[in-house]
Amino acid sequence: MSELIVRAEKLDAADELAALRAQFVLDTVSDQAADAAGVYLDGNSLGALPAAVPGRVEDVVRRQWGALRIRSWDESGWWTAPERIGDLIAPLVGAAAGQIVVGDSTSVNVFKALVAAVRMAGPGRDEIVVDATTFPTDGYIAGSAARLTGCTLRPVTPAEVPGALGERTAAVLLNHVDYRTGRLHDLPGLTAAVHAAGAVVVWDLCHSAGALPVGLDEHGVDLAVGCTYKYLNGGPGSPAYLYVRSGLQDRFDSPLPGWNSHAEPFGMRPDYEAAPGALRGRVGTPDILSMLALEAALEVWDGVSIEAVRAKSLALTDFFLECVAAYVPVGRVESVTPAAHEERGSQVALRCDDAGDVMKRLIERGVVGDFRSPDVLRFGFTPLYVGFGDVERAARVLGEVVA
């Protein structure tokens, strides 16, 4: 037995989060072919299924919808689900209650937040700064928001943001963690720089929420959006969320003023009056089935410290990089994820010439990560259910595949 296997066993035995693994539906080595590792390292794309979700969804479908039908809007709490579930997400991103509403997709929420940010910035500010390395949809939405508001779009890298800000800057859209490389950007420092320029900042938390502390309230973030199907394990297509800092809520002017965000949603008035608080981030009828599946998924976070999750995340990614160095032939792969903890999210991206073929063969062997064109192997580490034994096996199989 190799020294790395022994160390993995000791690390798993000492892991304070190890018991949470039983709350998820996961393959085990015995479920796989004899030579397969059964390791899921793609939670940064789609989180694993929490074991409590199927039973909850069955209740929602059979009893709440099937038996109670329309009564469930009141009796089953459907109507208040967006803000109730938002309050479950709030502590995971460092926000007090009453500032997050769940609903719509990340793309729709980016659009709402960015247009509202420009409107809050006021006259004379006609430039939107966007992360040039962003996930493509954020860039598309930023371009559309710029055209709609009469702004100029200025793509720059996060490192260039402070130097790009000026009197014309209205809003800045940034990613907390780079989806391709796993680089963690400086949310406190960049937020402060945007505020010093008199602009409004919008953060995309898709690759950080549920993996590391965010500190929205602590750092004075204005607006933030995020998905719930990655580290929050809400399921495919689960609704996203929108954070509006409490001090800005009365100024939040949504470009999508739907009936669900009206002060009197059942008044059916022809004129629009925004609801108070974070509720004005709602638009139309919530996606109840996926929303309540998300609510059940979030139960795994009861009593879990996001600081403990971060500590394990860093330990997992450190150990993975060590195992890769031990098992993979020198020069075969190159990490593009920062080594410094303060610059690393919860994933490791490895550059590899034949990455597409390598990932296909890894998946055939039971090690599931993903491929990003043209040459990146991407591995996500979800501390709630990934163990150190998983990490060692994944690196060992990677070494065998690339050799």
112 is catalytic: no
229 among known catalytic residues: yes
What distance lies between CA 202 and its chain's CA centroid?
14
The answer to whether the CB of 261 falls within 8 A of the CB of 125 is no
Active-site position among 56, 183, 230, 245? 230
Tokens in use for 268?
A: 């059916």
Angstrom distance (rounded) from CA 183 to CA 179? 8
* Tokens read off for 168: 């014309």
How far apart CA 92 and CA 120 sit, in angstroms, is 26
**What's CA 369's distance to the chain center, in Å?**
17
d(C-alpha 211, C-alpha 12), whole Å = 18
The question of whether 361 is a catalytic residue gets the answer: no
Q: How many CA atoms lie less than 13 Å away from 306 in the CB half-sphere?
A: 17
Active-site choice (135, 320, 381, 388): 135
Cβ neighbours of residue 38 closer than 8 Å, sequence gap 6 or more: 26, 27, 28, 29, 31, 32, 366, 393
With CA atoms as reference, report the closest residue to 233 among 50, 58, 100: 50
- Give the C-alpha separation, 313 to 76, whole Å: 36
Catalytic site includes residue 74: no
Strand 169-175 to 200-204 pairing: parallel
For strand 370-372 and strand 376-380, is the pairing parallel, antiparallel, or unpaired? antiparallel
Is 135 labeled as catalytic in the residue annotation?
yes
Which tokens is 369 given? 């990560």
Q: Which of 204, 222, 287, 370 is catalytic?
A: 204
What is the DSSP annotation of 178-197? -TTT-BBP-HHHHHHHHHHT
Whole-number Å distance between alpha carbons of 202 and 145? 13
- Choose the catalytic residue: 24, 229, 327, 385: 229
Rounded CA-CA distance 97/283 in Å is 20
**Which entry of 245, 378, 393, 396 is annotated as an active-site residue?**
378
The CA dihedral of 257, 263, 267, 268, to the nearest 10 degrees, is -10
Name the residues annotated as catalytic. Answer: 135, 204, 229-230, 378
